[in-house]
Amino acid sequence: MLQDIDNQIYNLIQKESKRQIEGIELIASENYVSKAVLEAMGSILTNKYSEGYSGKRYYRGNEYIDQIEDIAIERAKELFKVDHVNVQPYSGSPANFAVHLAFLNPGDKTMGMALDAGGHLTHGFKVSVSGKYFDSVSYGVDENGYINYDEVRKLALDHKPKLIWAGFSAYSRIIDWKEFRKIADEVNAILVADIAHVAGLIVAGEYPSPVPYADIVTTTTHKTLRGPRGAMIMCRKPYAEAIDKAVFPGSQGGPHNHTTAAIAVALKEAGTEEFKQYSKQVVLNAKKLSEELIKKGYYIVSGGTDNHLMLVDTIKSVKLSGKEVSNALEKANITLNKNTVPNDSRKPWDPSGVRIGTPAITSRGMKESDMEKIAYFINTVLENIENNSLIEKIKGEVKDFTKRFPVPGIN
Ligand code: DSN
């Protein structure tokens, strides 16, 4: 047993488990997986090498791995209604890199949402390979925090990118996938939708699907989809070969078969009525939490949310940076991440806001009335940021509060 062989690591896992139980997890990209997903993830499938694809492997002994990968692919095809799925990307960033590799040569143009507007590093940010090896152009959001499709169109027409990315890490509104399709057609670009954040909501019908409009759809599997840390690339048939080649051998080696099996399990769970209800509640909770924070005088970018997350401009709200806010809340067992806000004058390491998400707390069974309590905890800590004994008292209240909500996969 791990406890006997490596007590040091065992103890740290126990401590992390306690931290997950006793805290309020508001990081918008995190979630708690089921025991079934954990079991597949921690299985002997990690022992096997399987470079290649089902029926076309470079190593022998892949009879069962092929079946597992086929099941994961079929489940994803059915849930997302797509022609082709690659379930091998190790995570979101390698998946997005593979898309660039599939269609662009170094120096070619790629276009995505700016990081400070809510986009992702891998959509062309200058320190990522997507911005270093490719010529990247970024679009932002308007003064109300919404994507301005006229600006996107103008940039596309001016720069003629080969790839246009639609998708985000910190945008709380609905994306007009159809409008992106029109823009991509006007400049003959390939449209890539990155649905990492909202994949689970899409499956449950709580967020519009880009599948009718996008050529390629990438997603991680561990956020609202509530699976293991991994990713998938879905695409229309004509792009399938280029995508598969870009993943293997283009940018990866052997697939992580234990992850593939856990993705298959998560996709099965995502097809259930329980998951639909869960996803509905994720959005209801996010709306309620943003309303409660607004009532307390907080400034939410774009004035609210249509999905599972919101961005709070903490400088405007409480005259504290995102770093100060996230550090203070952590002392009270409330975890979230500092985040840039649109047109941020501060740097990502110490930006003007924080991002808040409801997928993890909803997996613990929290409902709208619990959002009132969470807004109260957040506000009390931030109004008393110098008062360590009060923050310690709130930490105690947070621990008591979380006892009512078991963590899937743990207790
Ligand atoms: N780190 C993920 C997030 O928090 O949104 C994206 O890569």
pLDDT > 70 fraction of the chain, expressed in percent and rounded: 100
| Residue range 214-270, pLDDT digits in tens | 999 999 999 999 999 999 999 999 999 999 999 999 999 999 999 999 999 999 999
Report residue 182 as tokens: 């029109």
Residue type, 347: K
Within this chain, do residues 221 and 255 fall inside the same structural domain, yes or no? yes
The separation between CA 28 and the C-alpha centre of its own chain, rounded to angstroms, equals 7
Between CA 141 and CA 114 the distance in angstroms is: 9
For residue range 71-89, list pLDDT tens digits in order.
Answer: 999 999 999 999 999 999 9
Domain extent for 112: 38-270
Per-residue pLDDT at 394 exceeds 90 = yes
User: 335 φ, ψ to 5°?
Assistant: -110, 125
- pLDDT on residue 283: 98
Residue 154 has pLDDT above 90, yes or no: yes
What residues are labeled active site?
49, 51, 194, 220, 223, 229
Whole-number mean pLDDT of the chain? 98
Find where tokens 């009132």 sit: 372
Q: How many domains does the chain have?
A: 2
Which of 218, 237, 270 represents a domain boundary (last residue)?
A: 270
The mean pLDDT value for 121-142 works out to 97
Q: Give the position, in ligand 1's atom list, of the atom nearest the Cα of 121.
A: 7
| Token representation of residue 43 | 């299985």
Look at residue 182 and tell me if it is in a domain.
yes
- Are 128 and 121 in contact by the 8 Å Cβ rule? The answer is yes
Task: Please provide residue 357's backbone torsions phi and psi, each rounded to the nearest 5 degrees.
Answer: -135, 155
CA quadruple 306, 199, 334, 350: dihedral positive or negative?
negative
- With the most atoms of ligand 1 within 8 angstroms of its CB, the residue from 169, 171, 218, 355 to mutate is 169
120, 221, 340: which to mutate for ligand 1, most atoms within 8 A of CB? 120
252 and 151 in a common domain: yes
Residue 381: in which H helix or E strand, if any?
helix 368-383
Q: What is the average per-residue pLDDT within 64-74?
A: 99
What CATH number does the domain containing 206 carry?
A: 3.40.640.10
**Do 287 and 263 fall into the same domain?**
no
Nearest CA to ligand 1 atom 5: 169
**CATH code: domain of residue 386:** 3.90.1150.10
Distance CA 266, CA 269 (A): 5
Name the DSSP class of 31: -
Within 6 A (CB) of ligand 1 lie 29, 92, 120, 169
Q: How far is the CA of 92 from the centre of ligand 1 (A)?
A: 9
Asked whether residue 247 falls in the same domain as residue 306, the answer is no
Domain match, 98 and 177 both: yes
∠ Cα 139 231 107 (to 5°): 45
